[in-house]
Amino acid sequence: MKPAEQSKKYIVDLGGWRAKVAGKLRDLILKAEPGITEEIKWGVPVFSSNGMVCSVGAFSDHVGSNFFQGAALKDPKGLFNGGLEAKKTRSVNWYEEDKLDETAFTKLVTEAVAFNNK
């Protein structure tokens, strides 16, 4: 199975609101950076461009997107709400009632890719 198919299966298998959020995040990542590489690592979708950019993973109570170089990124909208004490990574976690700021998330993805491509 190709990585894109594996990602889609991972998302569909989540079911419910977590599948909806994870699917939207995947769509936003692929739209923001059409040349990004999608693969499965650690059982979750991981997106790379000259190194790992971000991942999308679901947990029992939230869906998270981990940015592997998040500490080096600007976050003017304050999306990062996880891993704030980590040296390199930062994550954005969404809970069932949260609203996804698509524009701000897309900007983070674009900035993360630009950081890797420096």
**pLDDT of amino acid 115:** 97
Alpha carbons within 13 angstroms on the beta-carbon side of residue 69 total: 21
Structural domains in the chain, sorted by start: 3-113 (3.90.1150.200)
pTM: 0.95
The predicted-structure confidence for 82-108, as pLDDT tens digits, reads as follows 999 999 999 999 999 999 999 999 999
Residue 72: exposure state from Cβ atoms within 10 A (0-12, 13-18, ≥19)? middle
Q: Which percentage of the chain shows pLDDT scores above 90?
A: 97
